[in-house]
A and B are shown apart, each in its own frame.
Chain A
Amino acid sequence: MIGEAVGWPVVASSNYDIANKFRDYVTDPANWHGPDGVPTRIFEHLEYTVLAVAIASAIALPLGLLIGHTGRAAFVAINIGNAARAIPTMGLLVLAVTWRGLGLTPVLIALVALAIPPILTATYAGIQAVEPATVNAARGMGLNERQVLQLVEIPIALPLVLSGIRSATVQVVATATIAAYVALGGLGRLLIDGLSVRDYGKMTFGALLVALVAIGADVFFALIIRYCTSPGLTGRPTNRMSPIPDPAQPVGAASAA
Chain B
Amino acid sequence: MFRQRRSRGGTYAVQVGAIGLAITLMSAGCGLFGGGSSGRDCKDSDTNTIAVGSGNFTESILLGEMYAQVLESKGLDVTRKLNIGNRETYIGAIEDCSIDLLPEYTGNLLLFYDPNSTATESDPVYNDLKAAIPDGLEVLDQSPAADNDVLVVTQETADKYNLHSLADLAGISDTLTVGAAPEFKDRTTGLVGLKDLYGVDLPFKPLDAGGPLTLKALQNGDIQIGEFFSTQPVIEDQNLVVLDDPKHLSPANNVVPYIGKDADTDEITSTLNDLSAALTSQDLIDMVTKVDVDKQSVDDVAKAYLTSKGMI
Binding site for B on A (CB under 8 A): 14-16, 18, 94, 97-98, 101-103, 159-160, 163, 166-167, 170-171, 173-174, 180-183, 189, 191-193, 195-198, 200, 203-204, 206-208, 210-212, 214-215, 217-219, 221-222, 225-226, 229, 233-235
Contacts and interface: CB of A to CB of B under 8 A. Distances in A.
Contact of A15 (B36, B181, B206, B223): B36
B29 to A, nearest CB: 9
A211 B182 contact: no
B39 to A, nearest CB: 10
A221 B217 contact: no
Contacts of A219: 10, 13
Contacts of A159: 2, 5
A159 B36 CA distance: 51
16 contacts: A15-B37, A15-B38, A98-B216, A170-B12, A170-B16, A192-B206, A195-B27, A197-B183, A198-B112, A198-B115, A207-B21, A208-B20, A211-B18, A212-B17, A221-B9, A226-B6
Contacts of A229: 2
B304 interface: no
Contacts of A189: 206
Given A197-B186, A200-B27, A97 B216 contact: yes
B20 A198 contact: no
Nearest to A177: B20
A173 B17 CA distance: 10
B205 interface: yes
Contacts of B19: 174
B20 to A, nearest CB: 4
A127 to B, nearest CB: 16
Contact of B31 (A196, A200, A207): A200
Interface size classification for chain B: 35 or more
Contacts of A210: 17, 20
A215 B217 contact: no
Contacts of A171: 16
A183 B17 contact: no
B25 interface: yes
A44 to B, nearest CB: 14
Nearest to B31: A200
Interface in B171-218: 179, 181-183, 185-187, 205-208, 212-213, 216-217
B186 A183 contact: no
A198 B88 contact: yes
Given A196-B181, A204-B25, A214 B13 contact: yes
Nearest to A200: B28
DSSP class of B's interface residues: helix, strand, loop or mixed? helix
Contacts of A170: 9, 12-13, 16
Given A170-B12, A193-B206, A101 B220 contact: yes
Contact of A222 (B10, B28, B182, B207): B10
Interface string B29-65: 0011001111000000000000000000000000000
Given A101-B221, A191-B24, A207-B23, 11 more contacts: A18-B31, A18-B32, A98-B212, A167-B12, A170-B13, A181-B208, A203-B24, A203-B27, A203-B28, A218-B10, A229-B2
Nearest to A233: B2
Contacts of B212: 94, 98
B159 interface: no
B222 interface: yes
Nearest to A226: B6
A225 B16 contact: no
Contacts of B5: 159-160, 163
Contacts of B27: 195, 200, 203
A167 B208 CA distance: 31
A24 to B, nearest CB: 14
A229 B1 CA distance: 12
B20 A207 contact: yes
B32 A15 contact: yes
Given A197-B183, A198-B115, A218 B13 contact: yes
B16 A183 contact: no
